[in-house]
């Protein structure tokens, strides 16, 4: 039995790698199928945090396709798996990334209040400095989009920090506002 469970865990990890490769090659249908297979394997093993990571990757594929409603639903499932109990929650930076992606899905859906809420949750969860910086910029972008006073002025220094940290893609996304 242990050998069989080990083989399932190896298969789940391999499906994750295949999914990342397919996503990188822009073969999004294949990526989504691989991530779904990985999530299914992790579910069989009862490994909710790993299952959440696989589901999160599925949501990123939906986000890449601009399927914001689908991404929202998938990310919501991932969040439920990532936080089964306070003792068994995913690492804080993984939760922060999940909230950042939920903010992006809400932005695509036009729900600015939910975008801001998840950006703030990402900032609260983030432990690593780059993750905190991206979360802060996402929250400021949501504030700018909502028309909050002073948000645009506060975004400038954060953009410079993103660029200095080598987070050029994130800086580019923030300046698109």
pLDDT tens digits for range 166-175: 766 666 776 6
Distance of CA 105 to the CA centre of its chain: 10
Say how many Å lie between the first and final Cα of the chain, rounded. Answer: 54
Most distant CA pair in the chain: distance in Å? 60
pLDDT digits (tens, 9 = 90+) for 114-123: 999 999 888 8
Q: How many percent of the chain have pLDDT more than 70? A: 92
Work out the angle at residue 175's Cα, subtended by the Cα atoms of residues 78 and 69, and round it to the nearest 5 degrees. Answer: 30
Contacts of 164 (CB under 8 A, 6+ apart): none
Per the CB < 8 A criterion, the answer to whether 8 and 41 are in contact is yes
Read off the pLDDT of each residue in 65-85 and give the average, rounded to a whole number: 91
Tokens 């700018």 found at = 144
Neighbours of 48 (CB within 10 A): 20
Read off the pLDDT of each residue in 90-113 and give the average, rounded to a whole number: 90
Predicted pLDDT of residue 177 = 61
Tokens 């969040």 found at = 79
Read off the pLDDT of each residue in 77-94 and give the average, rounded to a whole number: 79
């Amino acid at each position: 039995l242990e050998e069989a469970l080990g083989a399932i865990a190896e298969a789940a990890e391999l499906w994750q790698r295949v999914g990342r490769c397919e996503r990188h090659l822009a073969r999004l249908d294949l990526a989504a199928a691989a991530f779904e297979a990985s999530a299914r394997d992790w579910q069989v093993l009862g490994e909710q945090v790993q299952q959440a990571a696989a589901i999160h990757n599925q949501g990123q594929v939906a986000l890449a396709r601009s399927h914001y409603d689908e991404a929202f639903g998938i990310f919501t499932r991932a969040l439920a798996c990532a936080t089964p109990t306070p003792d068994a929650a995913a690492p804080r930076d993984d939760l922060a990334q999940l909230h950042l992606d939920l903010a992006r899905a809400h932005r695509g859906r036009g729900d600015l209040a939910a975008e801001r809420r998840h950006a703030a949750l990402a900032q609260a969860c983030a432990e690593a400095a780059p993750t905190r910086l991206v979360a802060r910029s996402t929250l400021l972008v949501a504030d700018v989009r909502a028309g909050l006073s002073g948000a645009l002025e506060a975004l400038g220094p954060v953009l410079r920090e993103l660029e200095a940290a080598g987070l050029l893609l994130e800086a580019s996304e923030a300046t698109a506002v």
